[in-house]
Amino acid sequence: MEATPLCTNANNLIPFIISLYFLVPSVHSFSPLLGIHPLDEKYFGSQVIKCKDGSKSFSRDRLNDNFCDCLDGTDEPGTSACPRGKFYCRNAGSTPNFIFSSRVNDQICDCCDGSDEYDSGINCPRTCVMGGNLEYRAGNYISRIDLKESKKGLISEELLQKARGLKVIIILQVVIFGCVVIYRIFNRRIKSKKRRYH
């Protein structure tokens, strides 16, 4: 039986789809320029890259290889290998920012776009909003506005506790002052009575 042109195309299409299925996640899962500010992409474009502190140079294949070659963390912006490293969160649709590279893949979503948890095994929700960020911690969504209000609430509670403490101190001072005044009054009366009788 002879294969029709449609069957041959379908037979060729299935292996192509299967290969795409395995190829696309591996390409998307890790970019060598992960954690790098867009203005620094040109700096990391050459094959030999110098540490920003000038201490040494490293080849491009050692970029984000999870081994700290530069003391300042230049070679590991996308991993937590260097203690002084910084990871750039692009946060599309929101405010971009840097986080310490020790927060990369720590299973806490620090970037609102979730880019800092690319290899931690958790799926960070996109919490970026236009004009600001939402913070995501342990399954709770807390907006920065709510966070500020809760901090204000904590501050006002602290001030209230301090005011209560001050109230107690003021009452104690008034009582002590009253006792001193009463003591002096009685002491003067006793002295004046002794003078009259002598």
75 and 44 in one domain?
A: yes
The whole-angstrom separation of Cα 151 and Cα 43 is: 40
104 and 74 in one domain?
A: yes
Give residue 153's domain range: 133-172
> Mean pLDDT over all residues of the chain?
75
Contact 109, 134 (CB under 8 A): no
Tell the residue number behind the tokens 């700290």, with chain if given.
Answer: 68
In-domain check, residue 198: no
In-domain check, residue 7: no
| 50 phi and psi angles, rounded to 5 deg | -95, 140
126 and 138 in one domain?
A: no
Beta-bridged to residue 149, according to DSSP, are none
Q: Is the pLDDT at 7 greater than 50, yes or no?
A: no
pLDDT in tens, 42-78: 888 889 999 999 889 999 999 889 999 998 888 999 8
The whole-angstrom separation of Cα 36 and Cα 86 is: 9
Highest mean pLDDT among 23-37, 60-74, 151-165, 184-198: 60-74
In-domain check, residue 86: yes
Report the length, in residues, of the chain.
Answer: 198
> Which pLDDT score is estimated for 20?
44
38 and 96 in one domain?
A: yes
Q: Is the pLDDT at 22 greater than 60, yes or no?
A: no
122 and 145 in one domain?
A: no
98 and 41 in one domain?
A: yes
In-domain check, residue 56: yes
123 and 38 in one domain?
A: yes
| 92 phi and psi angles, rounded to 5 deg | -55, 130
The whole-angstrom separation of Cα 131 and Cα 112 is: 12
In-domain check, residue 179: no
142 and 56 in one domain?
A: no
The whole-angstrom separation of Cα 87 and Cα 127 is: 18
pTM (global) more than 0.85: no
3-class DSSP assignment, residue 136 = strand
60 and 103 in one domain?
A: yes
140 and 51 in one domain?
A: no
In-domain check, residue 180: no
The residue ranking higher by pLDDT, 174 or 194, is: 174
* pLDDT mean over 102-107: 91
Give residue 38's pLDDT band: very low, low, confident or very high (50, 70, 90): confident
Quickly count: other Cβ atoms within 10 Å of residue 69's Cβ.
Answer: 20
DSSP state of 39: G
> Which pLDDT score is estimated for 9?
55
- Selection from 69, 91, 93 nearest residue 81 by Cα: 69
In-domain check, residue 9: no
In-domain check, residue 19: no
Retrieve residue 46's tokens: 């050459």
Give residue 14's pLDDT band: very low, low, confident or very high (50, 70, 90): low
* pLDDT mean over 146-167: 62
146 and 126 in one domain?
A: no
Q: Is the pLDDT at 179 greater than 90, yes or no?
A: yes
pLDDT in tens, 145-156: 444 444 455 566
Number of domains in the chain: 2
163 and 82 in one domain?
A: no
